[in-house]
Amino acid sequence: MALIDVREDIVAGREPFARIMSAVQGLASDEDLELVAPFEPKPLYDAMAERGYTHTTAEEPGGIWRVIFRRAA
């Protein structure tokens, strides 16, 4: 599983979308992507669905969101 944590990008005012898509392009066909963010990344759900991914989302204490993206079966 690949991990990308965008919390520092968000704090620094950087848009992490290109970084996330670059990570997605580098995934093996059977590899999942775990995204860590300081908010629920709802707009990303549609962008990833268009690329054939489903997601599972969990909010952790402190407002940390973890989203696992995996290729749809």
**Other CB atoms closer than 10 Å to residue 42's CB: what's the count?**
10
Give the count of domains, the chain. 1
The tens digit of pLDDT for each residue in 33-54 reads: 999 999 999 999 999 999 999 9
Q: What is the reported pLDDT for 6?
A: 98
Q: The pTM is what?
A: 0.93
pLDDT for 4 beyond 90: yes
The string of DSSP letters for the chain reads -EEEE-HHHHHTT---HHHHHHHHHT--TT--EEEEESS--HHHHHHHHHTTEEEEEEEETTTEEEEEEEE--
The tens digit of pLDDT for each residue in 17-35 reads: 999 999 999 999 999 999 9
- The radius of gyration of the chain from alpha carbons, rounded to an integer in Å, stands at 12
Domain that holds residue 60: 2-71
pLDDT for 73 beyond 90: no
Q: How far is it, in rounded angstroms, from Cα 13 to Cα 15?
A: 7
CATH of the domain at 9: 3.30.110.40
